[in-house]
Chain A
């Protein structure tokens, strides 16, 4: 009797929650996954900032802003999103050109525009605008795309990529390139072209080497052999691998990571926060976080596969995949698998506008899923 009561209460609560989520056009499992990651992130941030409640507070405000934006985006009609794509792209491109021009005049690196109340990075906008526009273009064409379409897409992707890289911001530039590229891959780019592009990329990398800034080259060289300059550019990687390695399976304990707390670990609450997790919470703590990420990515991919509209499917699939790319690049960099590229750990790293962009992207994804039955 009692059991039945409890069961029915639970069922009622669940049904009610599902109804509320449905009304808000949110996906329950995805929301839970994102929420757990964000909570974990704030928990770790307290330790990684050296016990600074101020940092946690500011992080939470930013998180709140992202959640708000996600809610707003979730309410948008897929058709509106689609039609907005080229305009968003045009705006982003214009702002990128302005930022580059200002940077050129001011003779220095320039990545953001000061809007007075906040600093806005146009390249951050492009991380969404580029895949949106690519999906928009592909929706109008038969898939897999033909040669002319591919050339158009290449131009749409490479121009903002180039404008971002010359800022100079290699990391974000590559992410924009990948976001666009993933859309094209999901659209069914033939395997032959993928292989061809792969070879092309190697050649480009070879030639591109000569156009890299010294500090960018240094990053690559340091990646290949961090010990060559242990106190200079190799310092970051050496210290973060020491932090992770010394964490062991169970970690040194929350707030007890010597590498992080004694500041041997640089950027410990921003780009290198993953090392703090590895050090204080060990392999188990890191696996938990990776597990949450993989869950979110798989759920998002599943949602994408349920969509009937090409634009929705491609954009959602891309948002899911690029989320994983962020995680992999950041964790790979911190654990010494990849060179040091300034990519934050999604929803965990402190600062930057990336958390807002990411949550806005998931808002779009949920909006597209809520309207999956429609060809947008």
Chain B
């Protein structure tokens, strides 16, 4: 006990220690109470809040995607259905390194190097716990390749999903549309909850327009998961009241399309850039809707690679372009019957009063010649032969007398210059020109003036006027029914897949045309009958057991200078005129109204009219040419 001479006061030190020990006890008590207070705060006061968080942690709601509705044609043939398919899916939050994972998938040949960026974008746009498809439609060998290397790819798995399939391939693709992978732009406008677990969405056509009924409603299933997102249903000690809510399968659609007629129509313009629209004039049902060339919608449904898409998109024939709805062409002479009806209604022409066609028309006080398609002219013509021979000067003169405003108003009643209201999207309005339209269409003051000459060519469907094949079919349907007007429609009925209850959709009538008298309708339709009987399209009507009313047309792609001769052989194929033909049949009780457009087809009578005949035969007579039949060719008479 050496204290090195320092005097220690033991009693004082003892008291000092005791004081400090008491202070320590006070501090310990205070801190303990603080701790207990914290626990009471968490476990008693905020109990409900943390219980919710804990529940949210362990229970995940997994979507049960509803099967998409099946699409049938009017006879019940399947156009779109669902097939089980294997696809590669990835859960972002379970993937440690997205770049390395995608590169690894490229290495084993499951992903195209070009598609890595797209895949990455898709993954980033989805919620971290959603299973994101990165490669659809795996083949057997793809699955084997993945199976061997699976351990390298945590968070990536093969899933079986119902995938859209189009058993008819290219047939009716421009009416049907297709589904494709949900893109970032789609995600911005849709309800993500409704698409959870779904990799595809209707992109165009019926698939897009009827997306909501087709999609149905997703069901959901609650699953218990651990921190790594894995399902842990087997963990028996943790009871969770897990719920399953079944989904509602999508509604089946029955189309107005007649698949057999559609096939014939596509076959007949197989190798051309063309559009055909056939309507039932009594209710607006679309019998056939063709735009060629087409493409296989299955490509989109199974996921298109960048190169495949580029090939389609860069094709000069533009297979993705829906010519029937979105192609706008000058309607040419096809509108002449309507112009004639305007002349009759406004009392400007008399049906039997002869008009002398000298091969051109000039406005009073002007030397500019509006030329007839036949240089030497048609001589004396009346209304009937003006229509059947498609005499241009007759209509130049008529238009000049009608004036642009009356022309515009009358043609407008036939649905020209505005969307027809067909039940799929993307339709173009075309142009029905007027002085007002010109003011908005041109920026320059000087270009905004409407010239009398522009009225003259308006009457033969040239100049500014453009229309889609669908609009001309619609116009023809109105002519066929003498003024009855229906919105074209592709879907005629829906069926609830659970109850199998069919709901017929009623046609949507538009206000009928009342301007014209019955007598005038007769005159016009008689003119159109004359087109087929002795007129420009006579040969296309040969041997038909039903009566046809039609009208040919050409749309100029290339304008020929004054005084120059139209030298067809010297003009490159792509600059040749587009060929038009519109018709309806039978005249007495019309069942079909059709518009045919063949791009650079040169002649309405020679190219377009025989096509229309084949389609009408198929629909009215159920007469189907063999699949390998060559494109029919008629006479190459000019109009």
Question: Residues of A with Cβ closer than 8 Å to B?
Answer: 140-144, 185-188, 239, 241-249, 255-256, 258-259, 261-264, 278, 282-283, 286-287, 290, 294, 297-298, 301, 304-305, 308, 310, 313-314, 317, 320-321, 324, 328, 331-332, 335-337, 375
Contact = CB atoms under 8 A, between A and B. Distances in A.
Nearest to B13: A143
B21 A263 contact: no
Interface string B296-318: 00000000000000000000000
Q: Which among A262, A278, A297 has the highest number of chain B CB atoms within 10 Å?
A: A262
B445 interface: no
B42 interface: yes
B307 to A, nearest CB: 37
B227 A263 contact: yes
A244 B226 contact: no
Contacts of B237: 255-256, 261
A247 B358 CA distance: 101
Question: What is the interface residue range for chain B against chain A?
Answer: 35 or more
Given A290-B32, A310-B13, A242 B57 contact: yes
B620 interface: no
Contact of B43 (A247, A259, A320): A247
Contacts of A249: 43-44, 47
Contact of B6 (A140, A144, A244, A262): A140
Nearest to A286: B39
Nearest to A320: B24
A335 B42 contact: yes
Contacts of A332: 35, 38
Contacts, number: 152
B34 interface: yes
A6 to B, nearest CB: 37
B17 interface: yes
B54 interface: yes
B18 A305 contact: yes
A244 B16 contact: no
Contact of B57 (A185, A262, A337, A375): A262
B152 to A, nearest CB: 23
B241 interface: no
A282 B1 CA distance: 53
Given A244-B42, A324-B28, A142 B21 contact: no
B7 to A, nearest CB: 7
B189 interface: no
Shortest 7 CB-CB contacts between residues of A and residues of B: A245-B50, A246-B54, A262-B226, A245-B42, A263-B227, A188-B16, A246-B50
A261 B58 CA distance: 10
A243 B14 CA distance: 45
A142 B10 CA distance: 9
B54 A304 contact: no
B39 A283 contact: yes
B224 interface: yes
6 contacts: A143-B13, A187-B16, A261-B235, A263-B228, A320-B24, A337-B38
A188 B17 contact: yes
Given A246-B53, A282-B43, 7 more contacts: A244-B43, A246-B55, A287-B39, A301-B21, A305-B21, A324-B31, A375-B1
Q: Which among A144, A188, A304, A375 has the highest number of chain B CB atoms within 10 Å?
A: A188
Contacts of A185: 20
B137 to A, nearest CB: 34
A246 B32 contact: no
A242 B8 CA distance: 54
B232 A245 contact: no
B44 A188 contact: no
Interface of B: 1, 3-4, 6-10, 12-14, 16-21, 24-25, 28, 31-32, 34-36, 38-40, 42-44, 46-47, 49-51, 53-55, 57-58, 224-228, 232, 235, 237-240
B459 to A, nearest CB: 71
B187 to A, nearest CB: 22
Q: Which among B34, B42, B226, B239 has the highest number of chain A CB atoms within 10 Å?
A: B42
Given A241-B42, A242-B54, A245-B46, A261 B7 contact: no
Contact of B16 (A144, A263, A320): A144
A275 to B, nearest CB: 10
Contact of B35 (A140, A246, A304, A337): A337
Contacts of A294: 28, 32
Given A188-B17, A263-B228, A305-B17, A283 B43 contact: yes
Given A262-B224, A290-B32, A336-B38, A188 B20 contact: yes
B35 A313 contact: no
Contact of A283 (B1, B18, B34, B44): B44
B51 A245 contact: yes
B57 A264 contact: yes
Contacts of B226: 262-264
A282 B237 CA distance: 17
B25 A301 contact: yes
Given A241-B50, A256-B238, A262-B226, A297 B35 contact: no
A186 B21 contact: yes
Contacts of A310: 8, 13
Contact of A321 (B18, B24, B224): B24
A140 B4 contact: yes
A140 B4 CA distance: 8
A249 B36 CA distance: 12
Contacts of B36: 287, 290
Contacts of A258: 54, 57-58, 224, 238, 240
A264 B57 CA distance: 8
Nearest to B40: A283
A241 B49 CA distance: 11
Nearest to B235: A261
B413 to A, nearest CB: 64
Given A188-B17, A294-B32, A245 B43 contact: yes
Contacts of B21: 186, 301, 304-305, 317
A239 B58 CA distance: 12
Contacts of A244: 39, 42-43, 50
Contacts of B50: 241-242, 244-246
Contacts of A246: 47, 50-51, 53-55
Contacts of A283: 39-40, 43-44
